[in-house]
Structures are given as C-alpha cells and as structure tokens.
Chain A
Amino acid sequence: MNRFAELLDRIAYEPGRNNKIRLVADYLRKTEDPDRGYALAALTGALTFRNAKAGMIRALIAERVDPHLFELSYDYVGDLSETVALMWPVDESKRANRTPTVTDVVETLSTLGKAELPAQMTRWLDALDENGRWALLKLVTGSMRIGVSARLAKTAAASLGDKAPDEVEIIWPGLEPPYLELFAWLEGRGDKPLNLDPAPFRPAMLAHALEEPDLASLNAAEFTAEWKWDGIRVQAVCGNDEDGKPVTRLYSRTGEDISKSFPDLLPSLRLPAAIDGELLILREGRVQSFNVLQQRLNRKSVTPKLTSEFPIHMRAYDLLSLDGTDMRDVPFEERRARLDAFIKKLNDPRIDISSLVLFETWDQLIAARADPAQGGAGLDAEAVEGVMLKRRDSVYSPGRPKGPWWKWKRDPMIIDAVLMYAQRGHGKRSSFYSDYTFGVWNAEDALVPVGKAYFGFTDEELKEIDKFVRRNTVNKYGPVREVTHNAEVGLVLEVAFEGLQRSSRHKSGVAMRFPRISRLRWDKPPRDADRLETLEKMLARSDKVPA
C-alpha cells in the first residue's frame, strides 16, 4: 500500500500529462503482480466497493478523537479522508509489523460483509502511515480525483512494452484485474491476450483540422463531406455472447464504457454491428444545442424524468463491423453504403445516419459551411459545428492519420475584450501570469468580466502578456493580479469562442464555451473593445435553436 500511496500522492500534485504517465509507468515497472494490477484497476476506475461510505469513516474517527479537535482539524483541512488520515491516532508500540498491500485490501473488500468492514478498516488504518491511510480511504470510498484518466493509466501500462495505447485499449474489455496476462505480454513473457468480449471497443479514427487555403491542395472529387455535429462522439457496439445473447455497449471516444449513462439508447442497438457516431438530444426531430446535451452528462443516476426531458439520439457516421465482420479495411464509400443499408434495416427512431453535404466544387462546400441552413442542414443548422471531409477511399485507421479525414469547423465567435485580472499558471507556467480574466463594457461604461482563458497564445505572446501584467499591476490577491484597465490604458485581447450560454453564476449573465485568446490587440485602445450588448445579441441568436 505504501508504494501505491506514494504514487497517488505524487500524481495528485503533478500537472503534466507526460510526467504523470512516467510516474505511473515507473510504479508499474517496479511493483510486483498482483499489486500493480489492482493498482491499475483502481486508476482506471475498474474497482468499486459498495460498503465503504464517508459516514462510516466519520463514525470511526468519532470514536477515537476529541470531537472539538476533530472539528478544528476538519475545518482547517477541508477534506474528510485527508483529515482522518492525518489525525488517526496511532500507538507506535502496537503498530503491526506488516502493512497491508493493495492486493490485501482489494481481495478482502471484495468478500467482506458490511458488518465486518469497520473493524477491518480500523486494523488497516492502524497499520498504515498518514499517506497510506489517505490512499486507503481514497481507494475504498472511490473518490480518487487525482487527475488520472483511464486512458492515461492504460497509456502508462502500454509504455512498459513500448506498445501503442490503442493496442491495450483494444484488448482491455476482455481483461480482468489484476491483469496478469496483460503484464506478461507487455514484458515479453507471454502472448498478446485475446479480446473475447463480444462487444469490444475499437480505437477511434480522428481528423486533422483544416483551413480554407488547404483546400487548394486537395481534389474535391476524391472527398465526400458530411456535417460535423456538436454532440459527443461515441461508438455503439452490439455482439452476441457465447450463449448467443446480445451484449450491447456504448463507448466514449477514448474507450470508456458509458452504457450506464444512456440506458435509453441501448435497446435501439439490437443488431450485431459497431457504429461510430455522435450522441445528440433530439426534440421533435430537431437537434438541440450542446448546452442541452450537457444536462445528460456526468449524472450519478439516470432518472426517467431525465431521459424523457432529454431524449437521446445517435447519428451514425461510420460502420466498423457488421455481423461479426471487421469493416475497417473497406473503403469509406463502401462502408457508408453498408451503413446506410444497416440503419434502414435497423429502422429505429433513435438512430439515423448523418446526411452527406452534396458538392462538386470546393466553392459549393465553402458556401454550405458558411450557411448550413441553406446547405442542407435546414432547421438543425445551429447544431452544426462544421463539416467533415473524408476521402472516398479511406480505410478506418485508429488515431489521427494525416490526409484521409479533415475537420473544418465553422468560424468561431469573436469579441475584443479587455484584460482585467491575471493569475499565475501551474507547472511549466508557474512563473508566468497565464490565466486571464477579461471583460467588456456594460451600459454604465464599466468593464464587467465575461470569461477566462488560458490558451490560444504563443509562447512569445505569453512572455509579452506576462511582462505587461507585471508592469501594470494595480492590486495583488494571492496568485492573482489586477491590471490597469481603463478606457485609455489596458490590453485588448481578441477572444474566440464556440458558443454562449446564459449563466447565473457569472456577473455578466453569460458564459462562453471554449474561450481562447486568438490575437493580442496592442493596437487597440480599451475604449474600442466590445460591449456587453454585442454578447447579448450573439446570445439571442444562439437561443433561437429550434426547440
């Protein structure tokens, strides 16, 4: 447990993704089976322990410490697991000579009844140190929140054998903790495990971004185009298990099984196939904005009210497998024809095919992208995020190969805003003021903050803004500096964003989606920056998404 605790401790603080991968890989390399396998299961979210709840932990500590000291401590630390881990009283003379391993904890908890749990937790807490207790409590209560995704953990595992993360991803659904055969393969001691899962994930194919000038080098006749919908990219898979029973799963773009969040879609996936597509909310046949879809995300429980208010829909882009036959090496044009036939055969109101954008010349496509309503998207035009270009002969290859697929997003919304506050960044940017709060003028000619952005600029521009912040600071609040921002003096930032939403949490009443700094307008005096009414007008337009 101690080494696992050290790992959790370290990655919880480490901001860099690559550094996290190295820390996890280093742990996996130096730790024995089956401990490392259970640790990998914990990091990928493959473990759940139903009986360990915060209430039980609270009861355990209440028996052992002065309640007033507990309150003062909890108040100071702010996190229950951490407070308990730190103040758990230990009699050093009675400390067990052996600390529990990750394996001990996982295997014991999988069989232990609820009634025996408190006594077992007590024995473990007595045997561990502060860090170990913290890791134990995080592990059993399932609230790791240490900034490690399942994908990151699998990438770290793959690096043990110099394998591509997707290779691990493909076989992952067929594996069980503690993943002995996975490690044996990665370390060259065994064969590659077979994925026997009847409904496996297939790593997604992604597109490179395209700018209009790039079109000149591409031949329009070689491509098809379809709308890029503003939803969530998913993969829906249906297969039959050994007994011939259908198994259905919905995966995120990165291969996480998200079936539980969309029980209302699963019955529609009743024929054996793997479909790549986009999750959307449809009301009376109309695609809703991403803001609406967001209501369905990250929900703990999916209630009937939720599924009826936010009816889920899948719009199919591609066909990866059909009746147990892998389709990925078939050219796109043919896959698309098979997909069309399959969707017709499925004949389900919750699943349709993404229609093609018809064009012969690039100019026609440019026009369609500029005005999707006229270009074929009709009333759904506001939910169009851009167009996708796919070579007619492209095979489906995982990752982001350059050439076969292009995404060409619609132009972002843009405003000129004034820098108001700057905050120091983290990691590599900890000596730079790199997080910017910017504002626009309201009706009373005062600047109101409308958003925050921390990317979009080059390293060179970051240095320039940092210099500006340091020279124009009027107030300091911890890591935050307020900079000069009046009509005459200040820095105007051109901010690009993908959409606007009404928000009661923001003073200005609006919240931006995906804001980033697109240009520094050293040339522009702050008084010429945009006004709140400009945003209000933009908001009114995006509210017009047909309901």
Chain B
Amino acid sequence: MRPEDILVPTPSGVCCKPGGFHIDPTHPVDKALITHGHADHARPGHGSVLATAETLEIMRLRYGEDFAGSSQVIKYGEVLKLGDTTVSYHPAGHVLGSAQIKVERKGLRIVASGDYKDVPDPTCLPFELVPCDVFITEATFGLPVFRHHDADGEVAKLLASVELFPERAHLVGAYSLGKAQRVMALLRAAGYDKTIYLHGAMEKITAYYQFSGIDLGNVELVKGHKKSDLAGTITICPPSAMTDVWSRRFPDPVAAFASGWMRVRARARQRGISLPLVISDHADWDGLVKTISATGCSEVWVTHGQEDALVHWAQSRGMKARPLDIVGYGDEDDSDGVAPGPAEGAEA
C-alpha cells in the first residue's frame, strides 16, 4: 500500500478518503480534523470537527457557538476508528491544545504534525515524538539560518531594556493565540511581577489560558490607562497595533516583536522594530531536522514555509521528500492584519 492510499494532498488540505475526513482543510468540508486553533488551520463552517477540548474552545471563542455543525472532543493518546483508519492525537508543543494527528491503516503510519516546536513552553504540553513511516511537517523556519536559541535570553533582553529606559513604554508585538501568553509566562518565570498590560484583541484568549490553569500573574487591559502611567510598563499587543494610531497612547514606545522572523535583521528593520525578540512557536531548522530524523520516517511531506531547503535536506539524507502545495497555510506571525474582534483573522 502507498501512503497516497491513505492521505491525498489537495490544494485545500490533506484528504483521507478511507477515513472520510480532511485534516486542517482551508475550505468548508463535511468532516474536519483540526490540529490547533490558529485561524489558518482552524476555519469555521465545517460539518463536524474533531479536535482537542482546548482547540474546540478556542474555535468557539473566535467564531462563536455555531463555528461548526457539530464537534467532538478527542483526548491526547485516545485512539478512534474512522472508516477504514485509526486516528490518534498527540501533543505538538505549538500552542495550548495543539496536536499532531496520527493516521494508521494496515500498519502504515502517517503523522500530520500541523505546526510544532520541540522546545519547552510553560503554556502547553511538550511535543511528543511519534514514530511513523511518513511525516508531514511544516517548514515555516525551514532554512539553516533560523536558529531560535533559548527564549529566556530574549526575555532577559526585554527586561534589561525596561530597566534602561524606565520613562518609555515597551510594546511587545505577539500573535494573540499562544505567543502572547507564552511571553507573559516567560516574563513571570524571569521574576517580573508587575502588571502586564494587554491590547483588547488578546483579552478573550488570555482569559481562556488563565481559566485553563496557566498562571500569568496580574494582567490588565491597557485601555483607560493614562499615558504617564504607562512609563516603564510592558504591553503585549498584536504586531499590527504597533504602527497603528492605537500606539500613540504610550510614552515614547520601544517597539519589540516576539517572533522567529526576528532572527533575520532585514525582517526586523522592515517592520521598524527596535527590539527584536527571537521567540518562536515553530521548530527552528535544527528542531525540524532533528525531529524528522527521530520519527524514523522514510518519507517526508512538507506543507508550508521554506519547502525547498527542507526537501533538499531530506533527499540528501536518503529520504523520499516532496512539497505539498497547499494553498492557505501561512504563518500567524508573519501577517499584519489583526482587527480586534471575534474573527481576528490574523493567521492568514
């Protein structure tokens, strides 16, 4: 049996005919298996959705109660029989509730890993290595120049800047699902115990993280605070807000941005960032190649990002490798258009 007999890549996502479902489809389908809550992977309007409880809750927060015809919770490690296949979800370490989906049929194992990272994150379960025959990987940071290092050092950089410029406000651009909460948790872990301020677009997701038992300390909306009171403070906001009229409420703000893209100077300069923080929720190059090797797979499918380099690397290691040309997956960090409100749409 060939892997393509189980999963077929189509322009709108990976389709499993024998199981009767799609994984992270970019268009409405009858049955969708969703890896995590970022809007480019989790879209509204499917007939039924199977996902972790956290992912379903995040979809509900963003799209409202009727985000899908019906929904079903699956626990990490639980095995479900769907049509002619068995399916299980495993932690991906990307954001709260994120999962890799393992699909198995007649002994052939395919893992669709969604977005993942193999480094610790205080706001979600660690990545679980799932041995498989075919590994479907992202390649957001699929170039050897992307090396993320430890996030603690980046947070130390932020705190040193807050200390050096006590009369200025620090704005940290961060994607509102996952990155924002991770930055807050890292600040707490580094001993920062003052109030962390929030842009309104992050309120609901952050409250959900706190409700799920993740301690983020004292967090307040920045709205209503006087300019002078914001000197020496840290505010987390969607990246686009930093160049928005909204940012004028802060005293001489320092523009920081927490993203893997900040590794490359031209990227940071292009956005007018003065304090780039290399903090990523995606695996870096070393993480990608280490993970692919460790799964023991003989074949790699690369979904989105810098496919060329990763495919070249896998082939040079004797694996079969191919890019999947799926339209519509992007990187949530890389976009600009965050409009506050339920359908943030920032991920596209």
Chain A interface (Cβ < 8 Å from any Cβ of B): 6, 10, 12-15, 19, 22-23, 26, 65-66, 68-69, 72-73, 76-79, 82-83, 86-87, 89, 129-130, 424, 426-428, 430-431, 478-479
* Residues of A close to B275: CB separation below 8 A: 10, 13
For residue A146, give the distance in angstroms from its CB to the closest CB of chain B.
Answer: 10
* Residues of B close to A86: CB separation below 8 A: 144-147, 263-264
Assess the A430–B243 pair: CB atoms within 8 A: yes
Assess the B309–A82 pair: CB atoms within 8 A: no
* Residues of B close to A22: CB separation below 8 A: 164-165
Q: Does B157 lie at the interface of the complex (its beta carbon under 8 Å from any beta carbon of A)?
A: yes
For residue B343, give the distance in angstroms from its CB to the closest CB of chain A.
Answer: 21
Select which of B243, B272, B316 is within 8 A of A66 by beta carbon: B316
Decide: A431 near B264, CB < 8 A? Known: A15-B274, A72-B308.
no
Total A-B pairs, Cβ < 8 A: 87
Decide: A431 near B247, CB < 8 A? Known: A69-B312, A87-B144.
yes
Closest A residue by C-beta to B148: A130
A-facing residues in B143-163 (Cβ within 8 Å) = 143-147, 149, 157, 161
Given the complex of chains A and B, what is the CA–CA distance between A19 and B246 in angstroms?
A: 23
Closest B residue by C-beta to A68: B312
Kindly list the 6 A-B residue pairs having the minimum CB-CB distance in the complex, ordered from nearest.
Answer: A86-B145, A87-B144, A13-B274, A431-B247, A73-B145, A430-B272
Decide: A431 near B248, CB < 8 A? Known: A76-B143, A77-B266.
yes
By secondary structure, the A interface counts as helix
Decide: A77 near B245, CB < 8 A? Known: A69-B309, A430-B272.
no
* Residues of A close to B266: CB separation below 8 A: 77-79
Given the complex of chains A and B, what is the CA–CA distance between A12 and B308 in angstroms?
A: 31
* Residues of A close to B300: CB separation below 8 A: none
Assess the B312–A13 pair: CB atoms within 8 A: no
Given the complex of chains A and B, what is the CA–CA distance between A77 and B285 in angstroms?
A: 15
Assess the A83–B145 pair: CB atoms within 8 A: yes
Assess the A12–B164 pair: CB atoms within 8 A: no
Select which of B143, B161, B270, B276 is within 8 A of A73 by beta carbon: B143
Q: List 26 A-B contacts (CB under 8 A).
A: A6-B157, A12-B265, A15-B274, A19-B165, A22-B165, A23-B164, A65-B144, A66-B313, A66-B316, A73-B144, A76-B143, A76-B306, A79-B265, A82-B264, A82-B265, A86-B145, A86-B264, A89-B144, A129-B149, A130-B149, A130-B263, A426-B272, A431-B243, A431-B245, A431-B246, A431-B247
Decide: A26 near B145, CB < 8 A? Known: A13-B275, A427-B274, A430-B272.
no
Assess the A130–B265 pair: CB atoms within 8 A: no
Closest A residue by C-beta to B146: A86
Q: Does B255 lie at the interface of the complex (its beta carbon under 8 Å from any beta carbon of A)?
A: yes
Assess the A424–B149 pair: CB atoms within 8 A: no
B311-348 to A contact mask, C-beta < 8 Å, 1/0: 01100100000000000000000000000000000000
Assess the A72–B265 pair: CB atoms within 8 A: no
Interface centre among B246, B263, B272 (most CB of A within 10 A): B272
Given the complex of chains A and B, what is the CA–CA distance between A82 and B247 in angstroms?
A: 31
For residue B300, give the distance in angstroms from its CB to the closest CB of chain A.
Answer: 16
Q: Does B220 lie at the interface of the complex (its beta carbon under 8 Å from any beta carbon of A)?
A: no
Closest A residue by C-beta to B271: A479
* Residues of B close to A426: CB separation below 8 A: 272
B283-315 to A contact mask, C-beta < 8 Å, 1/0: 000000000000000000000001011001100
For residue A534, give the distance in angstroms from its CB to the closest CB of chain B.
Answer: 35
Given the complex of chains A and B, what is the CA–CA distance between A77 and B248 in angstroms?
A: 32
A-facing residues in B208-248 (Cβ within 8 Å) = 242-248
Decide: A13 near B268, CB < 8 A? Known: A19-B165, A22-B165, A69-B309.
yes
